[in-house]
Amino acid sequence: MGIVNLIIVVLLIVCALAIEKMKDLLGAVIVFSIYSLLMSVLWLVLKTPDVALTEAAIGAGITSILFIAIIGRTERFEK
């Protein structure tokens, strides 16, 4: 289990840095939803399926949709 944990945590850090560096906000939202899915797998590895389920529904589903709706109303690229 330790190696799986390590891989997921490293990928999470890479995703978080990518979100911060990205100028394209739509891409950042998609990477954020990947972050949420990885986080959900991590919760599952840490034996909290309850939180994993909520994270997959809220983090990857609803948060991304709300962010995309906001991007549709403002601008796609960061200045």
Partner 1 sequence: MDDIIVKSITRIIIPFVQLYGIFIILHGHVSPGGGFSGGALFGTSLILYTLIFGVDKAQKKFSHRVSEIAESGGILIYLSIGVIGIFTAGYFLSNKAAGFPLGEAGSLLSGGMIPLLMIGVGIKVASTMVTLFHTLIMEERL
Among 16, 17, 46, 49, binds partner 1 (CB under 8 A): 49
Give the nearer residue to partner 1 in terms of CB position, either 45 or 70.
70
Dig out the tokens for 5 from the structure: 């944990």
DSSP 14-67: HHHHHHHH-SBHHHHHHHHHHHHHHHHHHHHHTT-HHHHHHIIIIIIIIHHHHH
Give the nearer residue to partner 1 in terms of CB position, either 4 or 70.
70
Residues near partner 1 (CB under 8 A) are 49-50, 52-54, 57-58, 61-62, 65-66, 69-70, 73
